[in-house]
Amino acid sequence: MQPCWATDRIERMATKKPVTPPPNPTRVPDRDDSDSVVLERVPLKVKPPGMYQVVMLNDDYTPMEFVVVVIQEFFGKDLEAATAIMLKIHLDGKGVCGVYSKDVAATKVDQVLDAAHKAGHPLKCLAEPVEF
């Protein structure tokens, strides 16, 4: 025989309505009612990092020889390739000196602008994303 307080407590528990937890809106159900697993297709969000081309611009004042040396020095071209790039820039107004990751391209631009500024030439270049 149980003491009276225990019987009271059990009766109260039996008549008390169970508390249902509120639905969690952030939880995505991973199973349906039939116990089968539901796989959700998650779209891939990662993209490979884009590449950047360093474009050099023509001007009327920077000596051709300086441009050729800069292209050799900072873009690793030999004399022939550097001269061809310089002439293309001279004739077309601009030309690509190389293609790099974003950070490396930005560093190349800084190096060229710094060298040109120190030498007193108005040579300009910029980095732009490569379209594909």
**What is the nearest approach in angstroms of ligand TYC to the Cβ of residue 83?**
10
Cβ neighbors of 96 (< 8 A, separation 6 or more) are 53, 54, 55, 56, 85
User: Shortest Cβ distance from residue 81 to ligand TYC (Å)?
Assistant: 14
- Hey, which residues between 66 and 95 contact ligand TYC (CB under 6 A)? 67, 86, 89-90
**How far is 115 from 67, CA to CA, in rounded Å?**
10
Backbone angles phi, psi at 124, to 5 degrees: -125, 145
Please state the closest distance from residue 77 (CB atom) to ligand TYC, in A. 13
Binding residues for ligand TYC restricted to 93-132, rule: CB under 6 A: 123
Closer to ligand TYC by CB, 27 or 91: give it. 91
* 20's tokens: 């249902």
Beta carbon of residue 64, minimum distance to ligand TYC (angstroms, whole number) = 5
Please list every residue from 9 through 68 that binds ligand TYC, using CB under 6 A. 56-60, 62-64, 67
> Binding residues for ligand TYC, how many (CB under 6 A)?
13
Identity of the residue numbered 49:
P
What is the per-residue burial (b if ≥16 Cβ within 10 Å, else e) of 29-57? eeeeeeeeeeeeeeeeeeeeeeebbbbbe
Q: Which residues pair with 96 in a beta bridge?
A: 55
Residues near ligand TYC (CB under 6 A) are 56-60, 62-64, 67, 86, 89-90, 123
